[in-house]
């Protein structure tokens, strides 16, 4: 059994501010890197305890250079840095995906560091009329390859979003969000124990999970923030301009629609 762990930072235990996830923030970012490395190792350990034979980890926050390589569990393999149009590495050969340290979608009241893809540029994303964040994006992307998302971790708002969207998914709540930059945290030991236990449970039931899917054809609607320019439509005839802040695309698959709206 092969599991892909997609690692973001905003939903990691101990992280409550943008300084901890921004590479320009000095010691605060160094603190965030340590926290995400600890939690990634706890997740890996749980996956192997639950029966995984192979674990691949993608450092998926910003430029993909956040994990402390020298401290990582040697049993896993790691995808770091920019990956171009490879969003979920080796997804074709995976049995399950874990979304570790994820966050709620843009506009979620009171969620820690809520956003969708770009806090500066994206206001709202809809897939076939339903609001999606990064949880939905990656679940639908994996679902195109017949692979289920088996566990999502983050704050309470993130976990509630995952459960409302993905039937049967396990969640691991490591903090209760109070505001964009405030939360009530578990202790480090309790958070890591929870991640380890939930990862083992998710791996153990992985082969019985059904992938998340969206109806085809797939229409993605993107509303940008007030001061973000819309992309040029000159060489992108598949894009439709809905209004001064909104574009839309329809394609035969989610993956195709996602890359057409993104690139």
Write out the catalytic residue numbers: 115
* d(C-alpha 185, C-alpha 172), whole Å: 13
In a 13 Å sphere around the CA of 41, the CA atoms on its Cβ side amount to 16
The DSSP result for 149-174, as a single string, is EEEEEEEHHHHHHHHHHSTT-EEEEE
Contacts of 140 (CB under 8 A, 6+ apart): 127, 132, 212, 213, 214, 254, 258
* d(C-alpha 76, C-alpha 191), whole Å: 21
* d(C-alpha 142, C-alpha 203), whole Å: 16
| 139 closest CA partner among 86, 205, 195, 213 | 213
Q: Which residue has the tokens 């540029």?
A: 121
* d(C-alpha 145, C-alpha 69), whole Å: 29
Which pair of tokens denotes residue 174? Answer: 């490591």
| 132 closest CA partner among 109, 111, 106 | 106
């Amino acid at each position: 059994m092969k599991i892909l762990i997609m690692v973001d930072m905003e939903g990691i235990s101990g992280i409550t501010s943008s300084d901890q996830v921004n590479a320009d923030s000095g010691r605060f970012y160094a603190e965030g890197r340590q926290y995400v490395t600890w939690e990634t190792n706890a997740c890996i350990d749980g996956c192997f305890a639950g029966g995984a034979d192979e674990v691949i980890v993608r450092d998926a926050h910003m430029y993909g250079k956040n994990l402390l390589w020298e401290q990582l569990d040697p049993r896993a393999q790691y995808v770091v840095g920019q990956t171009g149009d490879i969003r979920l590495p080796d997804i074709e050969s995976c049995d399950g995906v874990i979304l570790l340290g994820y966050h709620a979608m843009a506009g979620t009241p009171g969620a820690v560091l809520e956003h969708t893809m770009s806090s500066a540029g994206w206001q709202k994303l809809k897939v076939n009329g339903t609001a999606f964040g990064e949880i939905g994006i990656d679940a639908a992307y994996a679902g195109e390859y017949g692979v289920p998302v088996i566990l999502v971790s983050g704050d309470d708002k993130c976990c509630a979003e995952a459960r409302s969207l993905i039937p049967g998914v396990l969640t691991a709540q490591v903090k209760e969000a109070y505001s964009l930059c405030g939360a009530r945290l578990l202790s480090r030991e309790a958070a890591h124990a929870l991640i380890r236990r939930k990862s083992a449970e998710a791996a153990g039931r992985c082969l019985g999970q059904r992938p998340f899917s969206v109806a085809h054809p797939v229409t993605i609607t993107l509303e940008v923030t007030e001061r973000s320019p819309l992309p040029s439509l000159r060489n992108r005839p598949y894009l439709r301009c809905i209004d001064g802040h909104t574009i839309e695309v329809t394609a035969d698959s989610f993956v195709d629609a996602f890359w057409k709206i993104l690139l």
